[in-house]
Amino acid sequence: MKDQEAEFEFLVHEEKPKSKTIASKGILQRIRIKCFQRKLRSKIVIAVALLVIFRLCHHYLILVRRDKSHSYYIHYQKKYDRCKFQDKGSQPAVLMALGRSGSSVTWDTLSRLSGDGTIAHEITGGNRNASVAYFDNIKDHVNERWATLRLCNIQRYYMDKSKVDGKNYKIVGFQWKPYQATFNHHYAIDGMRRLAADGIKIIYLTRNPLDR
């Protein structure tokens, strides 16, 4: 009996520290798992935050580029419709020319001879189908004022731009390609009449068909 009791005490004495060791290892493992989970969550949060910041910066750059290339166009209808020409602003003009007639070079030369260079975009469309779509999509509240309103907003854009870059823009405007399919459109005719009534200059550019 004494031998059995001694053996039992020996076994119990040997097992106790083992159970403590196993328990401590389990706790340490849980702590490590929790720490790993916390680090993983923090990394995920940081990655998501960086992704959101990247997307916002990318969207901002797109807006800046769009503003630089087409910022003469005012998307707010009320502000666009209330535009009025400024006497101290740049001289508005319309360059009327068909394709392959040297319109871009002509406009660039005119603008640089009078001041700093400006760009005259082909707002009425660069081809026949685009021109038809443009005149068909003119809003009723804009009607025959479409050309004068666009010129007025272009003038306002370059006035604001000159305050930032300090340049002197003397002539501003847009290109109008007079396709036969749209030149007889009632908005085209009324638009020209409105331009004439407001004293806006129209530069008509032609090219010799033999000069190819």
Residue 75, in any domain of the structure: no
Q: Name 204's Cβ contacts closer than 8 Å, sequence gap at least 6.
A: 96, 97
- Alpha carbon of 31 to those of 36, 37, 42, 68, 193: distances in Å? 8, 10, 16, 55, 82
Residues 198 and 148 in one domain: yes
Cα-only R_g, the chain: 37
pLDDT of res. 159: 92
Residue 45, in any domain of the structure: yes
Residues 193 and 92 in one domain: yes
Residue 76, in any domain of the structure: no
Which residue segment(s) compose the domain that 61 sits in? Answer: 1-70
pLDDT of res. 134: 93
Residue 191: exposure state from Cβ atoms within 10 A (0-12, 13-18, ≥19): buried
Last residue of a domain, one of 42, 70, 98: 70
Residues 89 and 63 in one domain: no
Residues 107 and 151 in one domain: yes
Last residue of a domain, one of 70, 95, 117: 70
- Alpha carbon of 212 to those of 1, 98, 99, 117: distances in Å? 123, 14, 12, 27
Tell me if 158 sits within 8 A of 92, measured CB to CB.
no
Residue 80, in any domain of the structure: no
pLDDT of res. 72: 41
pLDDT of res. 8: 47
Residue 209, in any domain of the structure: no
pLDDT of res. 60: 80
Residue 210, in any domain of the structure: no
Tell me if 212 sits within 8 A of 103, measured CB to CB.
no
Total number of domains in the chain: 2
- Alpha carbon of 211 to those of 163, 175, 207: distances in Å? 42, 21, 7
Tokens of 116: 């700093």
Residues 31 and 110 in one domain: no
Which segments in the chain show pLDDT lower than 50? Answer: 8, 11-18, 20, 69-76
